Amino acid sequence: MTEEFDPKVYLQQGAWRDVRLGLHRTEELLERLGRPQDRLRIVHVAGTNGKGSTCALTAGILQAAGYKVGLFTSPYVLRFNERIQVNREDISDEDLLAVALEVREAAEQMDEQPTAFELITAAALLHFAQVGCTAVVLEVGLGGRLDSTNVVVPEVCAITSIALDHTHVLGDTIAKIAYEKAGIIKAGIPVVSYKQKPEAEAVIMQRAREVGAPVSVPRFGRIHAHAEGLHQVFSYDGFTDVRLKLAGTYQPNNAVMAIEIARVLRGRGFEISDEAIKAGLEATVWQGRFEVVRDNPTVIVDGGHNEQGANVLAASLREYFPQGGVTFVMNVLRDKNYQAMIDATLPLAARYFCAEPPENERALHADELACVIRERELEFEGVHDYCVQRLQVQACPSIANAVEGAVEAAGPDGVVCCFGSLYAIADVMAALKSC
């Protein structure tokens, strides 16, 4: 019965370990749903880091230009409904229930049952078509080539910065991962690609040549950015003094990706003025990406969850707080390169409060993380002059305990940075409300 059906449980069934890459299930499911993707004009975005911010910024531009914009991202930060948005408003529980019931009815007719991500992809595309979205920004879930989102034929493909992540699924080299990401490139469809490492760029360009897809790469050297408070103001190729609400020294790069995506869309018949581009960029907010969520002490929440993410986080902290002395709340998954993440942040640290991402079997135990931090500190000692005294490193029983301890230890004039996993952000935010 409908009242016993929980769409959020249904659309999140199974675990990420049950991922079965491939397109045939999604194709069949969408076929049974009437091919909603064919009624949508889509921007398809893959990459390792910066996907979410680039998607949000692109959606902001399209909305400012007057389009009704669907936005599909993962994972969610505070609530499941965030993953399906229209004009930056989460799908309602009522609409989620309705679309999930339709997806379930179609899926039950299939011999091979879809995975959770395939179900939510189908639900998003169906919802966007039903409500009449005139533009959709679709973020790849994992990889690209065999990701369930890769059943669409978009207006433009975008590939953000590529780094080592999900190596157990996508491959253990930059080139192998780039091959999977480049799998979203389709015949004749223009591509906007981040300025990649040479081994990734070679793979992307080869794929583009094979299918006859034109590629444009933003000229990041033309970016002139400076900080105003904890936010970035930048100029780029005809755009002056763009004031981003997104903090983080890396965000102008993501904004420029969105600018170049918008320029390609113009060539595909979209009406997007320079004024809409600037207004869309300046209006965009995006949770959990170097987000300043509190003053006294300054508390920053960042979803940096791999080596590259930690490096750009550290670069932003160094820009805004060159004196260091940051109190970190850190939690990580054990399949990440957490030693490199520690190394990136150690020179800025006064102390670490370690916790575990909630309800995740891939979580690294807090006491294990604390031990590794102490080991890395000993490796650094004598090499880096910041190690004048021993860092305070504490393993905590919960995210809430770690956040409360960090806020108290930092004091009203200090800086707290919570990072390591997107899965913990909801718990971090809840803890901050009570301390």
Predicted confidence (pLDDT) per residue in 212-256, tens digit: 999 999 999 999 999 888 889 999 999 999 999 998 889 999 999
Give the largest Cα separation in the chain, rounded.
66
Q: Which fold has domain 291-433?
A: Protein-Tyrosine Phosphatase; Chain A (3.90.190)
* 328 three-state secondary structure: strand
For residues 75 and 51, the answer to whether their CB atoms sit within 8 Å is no
Q: Is the peptide bond before 154 cis (omega within 30 degrees of 0)?
A: no
Architecture of domain 2-283: 3-Layer(aba) Sandwich (3.40)
Rounded Cα–Cα distance for residues 164 and 325 (Å)? 29
**Cα 180 from Cα 332, distance rounded (Å):** 24
pLDDT tens, position by position, 162-190: 987 765 667 779 999 999 999 999 999 99
Q: How many helices (H) and strands (E) does the chain have?
A: 15, 17
Per-residue pLDDT at 383 exceeds 80: no
Report the Cα 360 to chain-centroid distance in Å: 18
pLDDT value at position 75?
Answer: 83
Segment (H or E) for 174:
helix 174-181
State residue 387's pLDDT score. 46
Angle at 127 between CA 121 and CA 131, to 5 degrees: 150
Query: Residue 288 and residue 293: Cα distance in Å, rounded?
Result: 9
Higher pLDDT, 308 or 150: 150
Pairing type for strands 298-301 and 291-294 reads antiparallel
Nearest by Cα to 417 from 319, 306, 288:
288
Residue 107 confidence class, pLDDT cut points 50, 70, 90: very high
In sequence order, the 6+-apart residues with CB closer than 8 A to the CB of 125 are 30, 36, 37, 40, 72, 136, 152
Mean pLDDT, residues 59-66 taken together:
98
The pLDDT value given to residue 261: 98
Q: Which of 137-151, 169-183, 348-362, 381-395 has the highest mean pLDDT?
A: 137-151
**Pick from 175-179, 359-363, 426-430: least confident:** 359-363
Q: What is the distance in angstroms between the CA of the first residue and the CA of the last residue of the chain?
A: 42
Rounded CA-CA distance 313/327 in Å is 14
Q: Comparing 17 with 369, which gets the higher pLDDT? A: 369
Domain spans of the chain?
2-283, 291-433
C-alpha span between 268 and 216 (Å, rounded): 15
Q: Give the SS3 label for residue 162.
A: coil
State the pLDDT at residue 304: 78
Q: Tell me: pLDDT of 18 over 90.
A: no
Res. 16: pLDDT tops 80 = no
Residue 167 pLDDT: 57
Q: What is the pLDDT of residue 88?
A: 95
Instruction: Output DSSP code: residue 134.
Output: S
Percent of the chain with pLDDT over 70: 94
* Residue 100 to residue 11: CA distance in whole angstroms: 7
Query: Is the full-model pTM beyond 0.85?
Result: yes
Torsion of CA 349, 53, 74, 315, to 10 degrees: -20
**DSSP 8-state class, residue 301:** E
When pLDDT is averaged across residues 81-93 and rounded to a whole number, the result is 97
